[in-house]
Amino acid sequence: MRNIFSTRRNFYTIVFINGVYDEVNSQELDEPGITLCNLKTAIKKYPEEINLHIGKFAKAEDSIFTALSTACLNDGVFLKVKSGKALDKPVQVLYVNSGGDNLLIQPRNLFVIGKNAQAKIVESYYSEGESEYFTNSVTETYVDQNGILEHVKIQEESLKAFHISTTEIDVEKESIYSSYNINFGGNLVRNDLNARFHGEYGHCTLNGLYLADGEQHIDNHTLIDHAVPNCESHEMYKGVLDDSSRAVFNGKVHVWKDAQKTNAFQENKTVILSDSARVDTKPQLEIFADDVKCSHGATIGKLSEEGLFYLRARGIGEELAKTMIINAFANDAVHTISIADVRDRIEERVAIKLAKN
């Protein structure tokens, strides 16, 4: 099994192979105030904690895929960081397909960040070969008052795989949640991210990057629910499409009547490299408060001819110039990731994806 990152000493690592927990290659934590283990173990050791949160944020009645996950609840990752605690290094969760066909893999993750607690999580999905299988992932996240969570999800599964992901996020007063949703692989991919503010002065960032080619189809559907005053959200999704690939972005920001002093900013930008590629984009604002600062927008276009000319006039070849422009475009969505190994991995994967074209 290859490692996603060059070294694992910089991470606490939890590994699943074909949906089965790999205890040998995993590093659990059971320290005062911090618990990291697989969900099966957590259900046995901490049943009250699991019952308090599981299914509370991701409700079976809201989605057929969440209902399937709940009905067949098996395993995944449980992380709890109690009040005032902070992980000294990020958690790396690896969901690996080792080459098995016709598998149904259903990770169920629960992340609970206490008051004034901090954590960083890198949730990665990848395949060793080009197998055909279905991943149905559900993640429930709760960030308590003044908590901070940075959550990076990297999807680079087989180009024959089907990947459905649901992420539910609940943010309390003065807490900070940052999501980076990165998609390279999969045949048919759908990501649903829903973030809700429950206390004032919360901050939420939803950033995403999708690179598709061939016959890939990647959907991203997001909701940021501003139900209380004085909260701020930023959302930026960027995509690069080639060949006959297709993408969908549907992002909604809902500002309730009582959510005065809301700041909400949303944008989706996609570069089309082929006449056969297609993107459908629908950024939405639903505002019922009158004292807010909100904006949204979408742009779709091809590579800048002026930018290409500028680089080529300085002796840079056409293909390298295109790669440089696309890298700069993509980097805008991920450069604020605080984990250097992750940024390097994404940059490397972008280069590999572009080289194939």
Do residues 95 and 105 lie in contact, with contact meaning Cβ atoms separated by under 8 Å?
Answer: yes
* Residues 120-169 pLDDT 10s: 999 999 998 899 999 999 999 999 999 999 999 999 999 999 999 999 99
- Mean of pLDDT values over 30-35: 93
Mind listing the pLDDT tens digit for each residue in 48-99? Answer: 999 999 988 888 888 999 999 889 898 999 999 999 999 999 999 999 999 8
Q: Is the pLDDT of residue 1 over 80?
A: no
pLDDT at 8 over 70: no
Answer for the pair 244, 272: CB distance below 8 angstroms, yes or no.
no
pLDDT band at 5 (very low <50, low <70, confident <90, very high): very low
Report the range of poorest mean pLDDT among 128-132, 278-282, 288-292, 313-317.
313-317
Predicted local confidence at residue 100, as pLDDT: 79
What mean pLDDT comes out for the span 305-320?
83
Tokens of 191: 């990501």
With H, G, I as helix, E, B as strand and everything else as coil, classify residue 312: helix
State residue 303's pLDDT score: 84
By three-state DSSP, how is residue 131 classified?
coil
Note whether 30 and 37 are within 8 A (CB): yes
pLDDT for 4 beyond 60: no
Torsion angle (degrees, nearest 10) of CA 323, 328, 334, 338: 110
Report how far apart, in Å, the C-alpha atoms of 208 and of each of 40, 222, 268 are. 30, 10, 9
Beta-ladder partners of 264: 233, 294
- Residue 110, pLDDT above cutoff 90: yes
pLDDT tier, 323 (very low <50, low <70, confident <90, very high otherwise): confident
Distance CA 273, CA 325 (A): 12
- How far, rounded to the nearest angstrom, does the alpha carbon of residue 313 sit from its chain's CA centroid? 38
Do strands 29-31 and 34-38 pair parallel, antiparallel, or not at all (unpaired)?
antiparallel
- The two three-digit tokens of residue 76, written as one number: 């995944």
Please give the mean pLDDT across all residues of the chain.
93
State the Cα–Cα distance between residues 119 and 148, nearest whole angstrom. Answer: 7
- Spatial contact of 115 and 149, defined as CB atoms under 8 Å apart: no
pLDDT band at residue 7, thresholds of 50, 70 and 90?
low
Per-residue model confidence (pLDDT) at position 6: 43
CA dist 257 and 278 (Å) reads 36
- A 10 A CB-CB count for 44 gives 10
* Residue pLDDT, tens place only, 200-241: 999 999 999 999 999 999 999 999 999 999 999 999 999 999
What are the extents of the domains in the chain?
12-303, 304-357
Q: Check pLDDT > 60 for residue 29.
A: yes
| 269 exposure class (CB count in 10 Å sphere: 0-12, 13-18, 19+) | buried
Give the chain's radius of gyration (CA, Å): 20
Judge whether 263 and 232 are in contact, CB under 8 Å: yes
Q: What is the distance between the alpha carbons of residues 95 and 314, in angstroms, rounded to a whole number?
A: 44
Strands 148-156 vs 118-127: parallel, antiparallel or unpaired = parallel
Say how far apart CA 35 and CA 37 lie, in whole Å.
7
